[in-house]
Amino acid sequence: MALPSIRFERRLVPDRRLNSAVSISSILLGLGSTVPLFLVAGVDPVAAFQQVFSVFTTTQGVTEAVTRSIPIILIAVGLCLPFKMGFWNIGGEGQLFMGGVAATLMVLMFPDSPSIIIIPLMILFAFLAGGIWGVIPAFLKARLQVNEVLTTLMMNFIAILWVDFLVYGPWRDPQGYGFPLTVMFPLEARLPMIPGIRIHSGLLIAIASAILVYFVLSFSRWGYEIKVAGQSQSAAKYAGMSYILLTLLAMFLSGGFSGLAGMTLVSGIVMRLRHGISPGYGYTAIIVAWLARLNPIGALVAGLLFGGLLVSGDALQIGLGLAFSTVLVFQGLILLFVVGADVITQYRITVSLR
């Protein structure tokens, strides 16, 4: 029987140009594959894509896109660290919510503080809370070999339910007509707008974080250690590094950046804590980090694109009456193509007939 036999041979050297080509074509293929779906639903694909691209052509659209991309960038930048070590942090979403909780706690505890005090406090504690939420699964993995994919995933749901508990229960605004919301943050506890544009200053934090992480990974001793540990645990040990400490630190920072994302949401956009402050930024960030091949600057770019995609969801909803979840179709398809195409970047594939 002549069955085609496929051989997989690991590539010796990663091909950078191939990698970017794969990322870009995945985006195009992902978007393109929605055409049949639009046709099935009786939607004119041309009109749909016009709506999508309209986001990137108006000031308002771009402003909105950038605003939406802030939490995505923050989380994705942080994810570069544990992902480089082969630690699969799926918990960005939960770490974000815990950051939001900590930031809100600061406001509730010190409602009358001036900006100069309350904003740094919120940033610090959001980072800490997200970081701690991230360190728990890292500890379980490093000491007990507990699968981090499942623990980080489960901890997302716990964090989300915890926020629900708070806003339905002890933190509910008594004047909120029974809605599950905390009180509105005072002006002092809101992230100021960047002068001249209608985007809050979380953007600066996000950009600074991307640059910082890029520098850490490329130029610091610690970035080098992450690179070695991500390759081989025994090589790290041979080089005199502590693998456990590295894991904990990577996850503390990753969780911290996600917590920061939560802070920018409650303090820059929602101005309070409520149910569903994030429509899944933590998961979108995984796509972004993957698409950027764990390069923080790449995550900045891809994050902006995905922020735009989210806004296009609104445009499709308003313009064509489509569901917002159309965005998820884009996201899912792009990710499927990226993941599938990975085989091309990692292996040289030969098909032969026997």
Partner 1 sequence: MQPSPIIKMEQVVKRFPGALAVDHVDFEVGRGEVHALLGENGAGKTTLMNVLYGIHRPDSGKIFVNGREVSIRSPKDAITLRIGMVHQNFRLVESHTVCENILLGLKNLPTILKLKTAEKEIEELSKQYDLPVDPRARIWQLSMGERQRVEILKILYRGADILILDEPTSVLTPLESKHLFDFLRKMAAEGKSVIFITHKLDEVMAVSDRATVLRAGRVVGKVATSTTSKPDLATLMVGRKVLFTYERRGEASASPVLEVRDLQVLNDKGLPALKGTSLTVHAHEILGIAGVAGNGQKELAESITGLRDVSSGQVIIEGNNVSGRNAKYMIEHGVAYVPEDRINVGAPQSLSIAENLVLRTYRYEPFSKGLLLEKREIGSNAEKLISEFNIVTSSRDAITRTLSGGNLQKLILARELSGRPKLIVALYPTRGVDVGATEYVRELLLKQREGGAGILLISEDLEEILSLSDRIAVLYEGQIMGVIPAESANMEELGLMMGGALKKAA
Partner 2 sequence: MTAIDTAFAVSLLAHAIQAGTPLLLATVGEIYSERSGVLNLGLEGIMIMGALTAFLVSFRTGDIALAIVAAAIVGALLSLIHAFLSITLKANQIVSGLAISIFGLGVSGFLGRPLIGQIATKLQSTPIPLLQDIPVLGPILFSGDVLIYFSVIVSLVLWFVLFRTRFGLNIRSVGENPSMADSLGVNVDLTRYVCVLVGGALGGLGGAYLSIVYTPLWIEGMTAGRGWIAIALTIFAVWNPLGAILGAYLFGGVIALQFRLQAIGIGTETPQLLLMLPYFVTIGTLVLMSSATLRKRVGVPAALGNPYVRGE
Q: Coil, strand or helix: which one is 191?
A: coil
Q: Are 63 and 198 in contact (CB under 8 A)?
A: yes
**Least spacing, CB of residue 118 vs partner 2, in Å:** 27
In angstroms, rounded to a whole number, what is the distance separating the alpha carbons of residues 314 and 40?
A: 21
Among positions 4, 17, 321, 352, the unique one binding partner 2 when judged by CB under 8 A: 321
In angstroms, rounded to a whole number, what is the distance separating the alpha carbons of residues 261 and 172?
A: 22
* Pick 241 or 309: Cβ nearer partner 2: 309
- Which tokens is 267 given? 């303090």
CB 126: neighbour CB atoms within 10 A? 33
Contacted by 220, from partner 1, partner 2, none: CB < 5 to 8 Å by type: partner 1
* Pick 132 or 216: Cβ nearer partner 2: 132
* Pick 203 or 250: Cβ nearer partner 2: 250
The answer to the question of residue 48 lying near partner 2 (CB under 8 A) is: no
* Pick 12 or 351: Cβ nearer partner 1: 12
Question: What one-letter code names the amino acid at 41?
Answer: A
Element of type H or E holding 223: helix 221-231
The answer to the question of residue 234 lying near partner 2 (CB under 8 A) is: no
Contacted by 12, from partner 1, partner 2, none: CB < 5 to 8 Å by type: partner 1
In angstroms, rounded to a whole number, what is the distance separating the alpha carbons of residues 105 and 203?
A: 23
* Pick 351 or 353: Cβ nearer partner 2: 351
Q: Coil, strand or helix: which one is 348?
A: strand
The answer to the question of residue 144 lying near partner 2 (CB under 8 A) is: yes
- Separation of first and last alpha carbons in the chain: 8
Give me the residue label for tokens 């920061």. 260
Contacted by 227, from partner 2, partner 1, none: CB < 5 to 8 Å by type: partner 1
Among positions 57, 59, 145, 352, the unique one binding partner 2 when judged by CB under 8 A: 145
**CB-based burial of residue 92 (10 Å sphere; 0-12 exposed, 13-18 middle, 19+ buried)?**
buried
The answer to the question of residue 88 lying near partner 2 (CB under 8 A) is: yes
Contacted by 158, from partner 2, partner 1, none: CB < 5 to 8 Å by type: partner 2
Concatenated DSSP letters of 255-322? HHHHHHHHHHHIIIIISS-BTTS-SSHHHHHHHHHHHTTT-HHHHHHHHHHHHHHHHHHHHHHHHH--
* Pick 275 or 348: Cβ nearer partner 1: 348
CB 165: neighbour CB atoms within 10 A? 12
Contacted by 53, from partner 2, partner 1, none: CB < 5 to 8 Å by type: none
The answer to the question of residue 325 lying near partner 2 (CB under 8 A) is: yes
Q: Which residues bind partner 1 (CB under 8 A)?
A: 12-14, 219-224, 227-228, 231-232, 234-235, 237-241
**Least spacing, CB of residue 351 vs partner 2, in Å:** 12
In angstroms, rounded to a whole number, what is the distance separating the alpha carbons of residues 228 and 217?
A: 11
* Pick 157 or 219: Cβ nearer partner 2: 157
Contacted by 98, from partner 2, partner 1, none: CB < 5 to 8 Å by type: none
Interaction site with partner 2 (CB under 8 A)? 8, 10, 37, 40-41, 88, 90, 140, 144-147, 149-151, 153-155, 157-158, 161-162, 164-165, 168-169, 280, 283, 286-287, 290, 321-333, 335-336, 338-340, 342-343, 346-347
